Amino acid sequence: MKIPLSVEAVENKHKEYLSIWANEKNTMLPSPILPYFYSKDKLNISAKESRVEGIRLSNYQKANFYKYEFQTRKQLVSTRDDLERRFGKGKVFEANIPFVLRNRIDNPDIYTEYPNTNQLKFNYLDIEQYCPPERLFPISEDRITSISFAGNNRKIRTLYLKKDSLGDKKLLEAYSKVYTKPDIEVLYNKSYDIPMILQRCKLNGIETSWMSKDGSRPYVGGKSGVHLEGEMVYDILDSTRGDQSLTGNVPTKGLKVVSNYFGFKSKAKVLVGSEIAAAVGSPELVAYNKEDVERLFHLFDIYWAGIAYTAEDLRIPLNMAVDLNVTDLGLIVLGDLFREHNIIADGDNSSRFPEIFLRKKKPGEPNYQGAVVYIEQRGLFKPVLKADYSSMYPSIVAAFSLSPDTTTLLRYDRYQKNGFRIEEDKDTFTYFIPDNALRKNVVLQVVKKPGFLSETVDRFLKERAKYKAEYKKTGSKIARARSDIAKVKANGGIYGVMGAAHHPFGFAPIAVATTGIGRECAKLLINVLDTLYPKSVIEVDTDGVYFTAEEYNKERIIHYFNDALKKKFKKDLNLTIDIDDYPAGYFHKAKNYILLTKEGNVILHGAAMKASSKDGISKKLIQDLARAKLEGKSTDSIVLRYKNLQDFQLSDFAMQVTLGRRIHEYKSINCIPVNIAMQAQKAFNIKPQVGNVHHYVKTIYGYQLFQLAKKDDLDLKYYSKKIDKIVKMFELEYELTAPIGSFIGKESESWEQEEDTKIVEKKAPMRLDDFL
């Protein structure tokens, strides 16, 4: 690798160091830079002061700044927070950039100087644990019954308990003796295996320092869930959770389901539930445990290449690449560009564009208008076509030369619902973008020259196209990984960050322009389809239009589309569309529909169809009804089968909920996630942690944690209502409705509010045609 295994910022004796692990050795590098922030005003604080010249992100003009440097991050943070308390936010700039990243941005090759050139040492790990019959899942009081692990040669070893042995002390000691101290622990769900091993060691009075490279004691906590000095954890669940190609194709993201989806062929007996406890000491449990490690190999080979590539591409250590979020990605990609152009981010979006971000807003109201989303027709359609733009937002940024050095927000004009227009003079384009969230026409000027951001996005898109073509041709996983990272960089790393309220490198005018032009692009595609195939449009979401037409001609659509594009935007744009077809589709609401693929698979879309929170009966019923509907079969017998709830087991009634935030952050303490998390804490001492998933059922006493509920107490009325609702969901037949989506609704409403001079008679709902 060209990059190190891991880097962390460490404070020692009031100085900042970078603790770098590479080739199994640690380097404590005194940080080449000090933690710092900028200010426009001279500040009376204790920090090293200097003057620097830079270009203000807010107006792209040269300006002088004060730079304040601190000995430690802690000093910076306390000074920053103190200034914010006294003067409010927006006093200091670039004051919240993680220090390891700050180092990478200011000195892009800092980490490539510590490459891990040796072959990385992996340990693939999976454990099994005893669980008494009265519980659904083991807790730390239960013994570990089997540990399977493998190194780079992928020969799996298993240490396991005999059937009648009740303690796992010897097992853990045996494992500690053969433990290899790898560079990277590969496992599935980092919050389980290693924390459980550590807890079991603790309860058995076993020292845990054998797990780390420098003899320090591992601890649970932090971003990676568990800290092992000199090692990093790669949790494949993080990769599968982020893999969009899985949504809709797998019911859950568990190891078995996902590896099966990717073609893993199981040879062992897959144990479920209480079978795992019953099989202690048996060859079945060993085989089962071993096979999970084989599943780890299978998924590792799918995802690891992408992470390794990301790390090298961005010149960051592997431990940063495994849990890279879009914020940090934006810091790196934009940070590199800002450094090259000597730009200082003078505040974040909310302080630089208060008209957008600090308006009076109801909770949940957006900062600016987003995409076109609505459903035009509901029911069953044969066939179903989908025309969609490839990488619409990044393509717009590239094609319209949107970049901080080319784009200026001139002013906000009075809102006009159809007010999108373009003015052109010798050197500039001016875009008038109606925004129904701002209730203003946003007037943006774009200079006719290549911008640094748009050029970079263009490069990402070309990169992506190249790797995508290579991947499609050769099936190369590396090519797929490269294609994916190029896409993420172009999409989230640029567009998402541009619109983020508090990201230091955001630039709202680009976000407003991107979605505004995106809406015009969507409408243009809708118009083309409606002209060629009148009344064909079914559903629209952002950059894709579902439509239906018996006879259709792809070439014709693309030809008309290109013509319309040229006419509308008065120049050649590199915007392309793809067209996919499906034999049938059933559309329920916006973003909620089902499709039949040519291969005969049923794909569910949207929360109404496939929310993971649904109970098993509902899920099965939807699956069955969906297939029947799309294949044109009668649904009567299916409905009858589900009417008799007595035929189902308690577990079929269980619903799922995730704790989305920390308990004290909830405004409503009576909501289900909190209620269930508290029950789990009370009954099983499970600490409420963000991301915890619990199963629960509705009983006549209210919502109950699944493990505490009895079948006789189930609120069957509640479940029959749910079933009736699902059956109704599939009863629409070619029902033509007025546009339902809020896109149209909101537009007309805000228009009426704007015209407050006269009372307008209540009009019929607007049709899409009126709007276009």
Site for DNA in 10-49 (CB under 7 A): none
Q: How far is the CB of 379 from DNA (least distance, A)?
A: 14
261 binds DNA (CB under 7 A): no
Q: Is residue 514 involved in binding DNA (CB under 7 A)?
A: no
Site string for DNA, 126-165 (x = CB under 7 A): ----------------------------------------
Binding mask 606-635 for DNA (x = CB under 7 A): xxx-xxxx----------------------
The answer to whether 658 contacts DNA (rule: CB under 7 A) is yes
Would you say 315 and 104 are in contact if contact means Cβ atoms under 8 Å apart? yes
- Least CB distance from residue 735 to DNA, whole Å? 13
* Long-range contacts of the stretch 271-277 (C-beta < 8 A, 24+): 273/136, 274/131, 274/133, 276/128, 276/129, 276/131, 277/130, 277/131, 277/132, 277/133, 277/145
Helix (H, G, I), strand (E, B) or coil at 225: coil
Q: Quick one: 232 or 329, whose CB is closer to DNA?
A: 329
Count of other CB atoms within 10 angstroms of residue 155: 8
Residues 202-231 that bind DNA (CB under 7 A): none
- Structural Rg of the chain based on CA atoms: 29
Among 426, 667, 758, 762, binds DNA (CB under 7 A): 667
Instruction: Check binding of 245 to DNA (CB under 7 A).
Output: no
Select from 560, 556, 577 the least CA-distant residue to 568.
560
> Residue 646 or residue 668: which is nearer to DNA going by CB?
668
| Residues 6 or more apart whose Cβ sits within 8 Å of residue 57 | 338, 343, 344, 345, 346, 352, 404, 505, 507
Question: Residue 412: beta bridge partners?
Answer: 442
Among 148, 240, 369, 395, binds DNA (CB under 7 A): 369
510 contributes a contact to DNA by CB under 7 A: no
**Residue that has been written with the tokens 């190369």 in this structure:** 476
237 and 189 Cβ atoms separated by less than 8 Å:
yes
Q: Which amino acid is present at 692?
A: N
Which of the residues 403 through 432 are near DNA (CB under 7 A)? none
Alpha helices in 431-493 (DSSP H): 452-474, 477-490
Q: Which is nearer to DNA, 298 or 386 (CB)?
A: 386
Can you spell out the DSSP letters for 2-69? Answer: -S-SEEEEEEETTEEEEEEEETTEEEEEEPSS--EEEESS---SSSEEEEEEEEETTT--EEEEEEEE
Smallest gap, in angstroms, from Cβ of residue 726 to DNA? Answer: 8
Touching DNA, residues 270-299 (CB under 7 A): none
Q: Which of 634, 644, 646, 668 binds DNA (CB under 7 A)?
A: 668
* Binding of residue 249 to DNA (CB under 7 A): no
In angstroms, what is the minimal distance from the CB of 217 to DNA? 27
Question: Is 502 a binder of DNA (CB under 7 A)?
Answer: yes
Q: Residue 142: CB partners within 8 Å, gap ≥ 6? A: 129, 130, 131, 132
Q: How many residues bind DNA (CB under 7 A)?
A: 75
Q: Restricting to residues 87-106, which ones interact with DNA according to CB under 7 A?
A: 96
143 versus 503: smaller Cβ distance to DNA: 503
Residues 728-747 that bind DNA (CB under 7 A): 729, 740-743
Beta carbon nearer to DNA, 465 or 732: 732
The reply on whether position 172 binds DNA by CB under 7 A is no
| Residues 372-401 interacting with DNA (rule: CB under 7 A) | 373-375, 388
Q: 760: buried, middle or exposed (CB in 10 Å: 19+, 13-18, 0-12)?
A: exposed
Q: Per rule CB under 7 A, is residue 688 in the interface with DNA?
A: no
Task: Write each residue from 582 to 611 as x if it is in contact with DNA (CB under 7 A), else as -, in one continuous string.
Answer: ------xxxxx-----------xxxxx-xx
Smallest distance, Å, CB 198 to DNA?
25
Binding test (CB under 7 A) with DNA, winner from 307, 324, 511, 565: 511
Least distance between DNA and beta carbon 23 (Å): 30
Among the listed residues 703, 727, 754, 766, the single contact to DNA using CB under 7 A: 703
Closest CA to 663 of 654, 675, 652, 651: 675
Q: Least distance (Å) from DNA to the CB of residue 693?
A: 7
Cβ atoms of 160 and 130 within 8 Å: the answer is: no
Which three-class secondary structure state does DSSP give residue 74?
Answer: helix
257 lies in the binding site for DNA (CB under 7 A): no
Piece of 305-313, 398-406, 636-644, 652-660 that binds DNA (CB under 7 A): 652-660
Residues 479-498 that bind DNA (CB under 7 A): 492, 495-497
Distance CA 563, CA 715 (A): 59
The identity of residue 496, as a single letter, is G
The residues with which 735 forms a beta bridge, in sequence order, are 378
Name which of 186, 185, 429 is nearest 295 in CA terms.
186
Residue 186 contacts DNA per CB under 7 A: no
DSSP β-bridge partners for residue 18: 9, 29
Among positions 329-368, residues that touch DNA (CB under 7 A) are: 330, 362-364, 366-368
CB nearer to DNA: pick between 147 and 674: 674
Q: How many CB atoms lie within 10 A of CB 227?
A: 19
Q: How far apart are the first and last CA of the chain?
A: 54
Task: Provide, rounded to whole angstroms, the least separation between the CB of residue 571 and DNA.
Answer: 25
Closest distance to DNA from the beta carbon of 605 (Å): 4
Least spacing, CB of residue 651 vs DNA, in Å: 18
What's the min distance (Å) between Cβ of 529 and DNA? 16
Answer yes or no whether residue 440 interacts with DNA by CB under 7 A.
no
